[in-house]
Amino acid sequence: MITHYLHNNQNSVSKHYKKEALKAIHNFISYKEQVDNVSLEQETALKQLLSEVENVPFPTSKASKFKFIDLFAGIGGFRLAMQNMGGKCVFTSEWDTNAQKTYRTNFGEIPFGDITNEKVKGFIPSDFDVLCAGFPCQAFSIAGNRKGFADTRGTLFFDIEQIVTTHRPKVVFLENVKNLVTHDKGNTFKTIISVLEDKLGYKTFTKVLNSMTHANIPQNRERIFIVAFDPKQVENYENFQFPSKIELIKTIHDILEKGKQDDKLYYKKEHAYYPELEKTVTSRDTVYQWRRVYVRENKSNVCPTLTANMGTGGHNVPIIKDDYGIRKLTPRECFLFQGYPENYLLPEMANGRLYTQAGNSVTTTLIERISKEIIKVL
């Protein structure tokens, strides 16, 4: 509550958070006085907290062209892109506490928790233009079979539907895995589009885009993007177009870190699979991928799709050969392969959690290119 209030302290949205935030600040002061035995004034506490909010790599802008909310926010890929386009985030939600930590480190704001909770939904301010969500995909087959693709209850998309129904943003901007289009023989995707168009009255545009063809990022990452406009608020919605292909200029060597990395990233010769790795991982111009018991080579000399499970169980692990041996990608390299800037901070936590965060994220530069086309229409 406090970080959301302070992030919006110079615009009208702060009123939405003020009552609960001031109550929280009062509790904060009482706690500090008990622990530190120091008398604090509310103004002093506010200055201290405001400093913590503003002294981060990507503080919220004082002025903005539009307002957006960031659902299933992860580590802030949508936020980074939309802020670069002049947007102001007025609400964010992410249930994973490790992702919340990374988000706070970079944006100075702690996301609200589980968006399926009605109390959390109640904290969403009424005044915003764009709803952003890289929402998890759940099976829609039962809903589709029984309700003619009209009922999404029991899925996380239903929470998006509820929020859109309540707040009617000008734009809904969604991202998901490419397989969403064909999931359950296409019924899942039909459900989503039917709800947005037939039930909610939005006009939708959909397209599968690849980070390596549309964002100048050397990662083979295909994702489905859905952009939906409310025609009553955006009369020229038909002018929207997804960004066109651009030349891939960056190579993996623009991203891979130079020099020797942490010893624990390198495969030791006594590793059970080292003979297979040594035989297959031969080029320094390729990011390979360990697939449980064999190595897959990416023929296009880009990074294979980063996944959420690449840090767990030895599956889908991206590996390279450098001057010092065969190693896994560093967490920093994975974030760079998702378009995050060099000054994006990675907090102290297990590498496996950072790998998961990178794999779950969007490619920020691709989101930015799509956002640019949305803002043109707005």
Give CATH superfamily name and number for 61-247+362-377.
Answer: Vaccinia Virus protein VP39 (3.40.50.150)
Measured from the Cβ of residue 328, the count of other Cβ atoms closer than 10 Å reads: 22
34 or 97: which leads in pLDDT:
97
Residue 71 banded pLDDT, cuts 50, 70, 90: very high
* Catalytic residue chosen out of the listed positions 89, 137, 303, 334: 137
Q: Give the model confidence (pLDDT) of 208-244 as tens digits.
A: 999 999 999 999 999 999 999 999 999 999 999 999 9
pLDDT of residue 114: 92
Mean pLDDT of the chain: 90
Q: Is 89 a catalytic residue?
A: no
Measured distance between the N- and C-terminal CA atoms of the chain, rounded to whole angstroms: 29
- The β-bridge partners of 70 are 92, 132
Which phi and psi (to 5°) does residue 67 adopt?
A: -115, 145
Give the length of the chain: 378
pLDDT of residue 138: 55
pLDDT of residue 46: 77
d(CA 85, CA 179): 29
pLDDT of residue 314: 60
CA neighbor of 107 nearest in space, from 79, 84, 82:
79
d(CA 241, CA 59): 30
Average confidence (pLDDT) over 271-286: 91
Q: Give the model confidence (pLDDT) of 78-110 as tens digits.
A: 999 999 999 999 999 999 999 999 999 999 999
Q: 14-36 and 42-54 are packed helices; what angle lies between their axes, rounded to 10 degrees?
A: 110
Q: 351-360 and 97-107 are packed helices; what angle lies between their axes, rounded to 10 degrees?
A: 80
The pTM of this model reads 0.91
Neighbour-count burial for 210-244, b at 16+ CB within 10 Å, e otherwise: bbbbbbbbbbbbebbbbbbbbeeebeebeebeebe
d(CA 200, CA 57): 37
Would you kindly state where each structural domain of the chain is located, as residue ranges?
1-55, 61-247+362-377, 252-360
- What's the fold here for domain 252-360? DNA Methylase; Chain A, domain 2 (3.90.120)
Tell me, yes or no, if the two domains 61-247+362-377 and 252-360 fold the same way: no
Q: How far is CA 80 from CA 58, 69, 88, 99, 176, in A?
A: 8, 12, 10, 15, 18
CA neighbor of 368 nearest in space, from 61, 75, 65, 80:
80
Q: Are 74 and 316 in contact (CB under 8 A)?
A: no
CA neighbor of 94 nearest in space, from 136, 52, 49, 155:
136
pLDDT of residue 100: 97
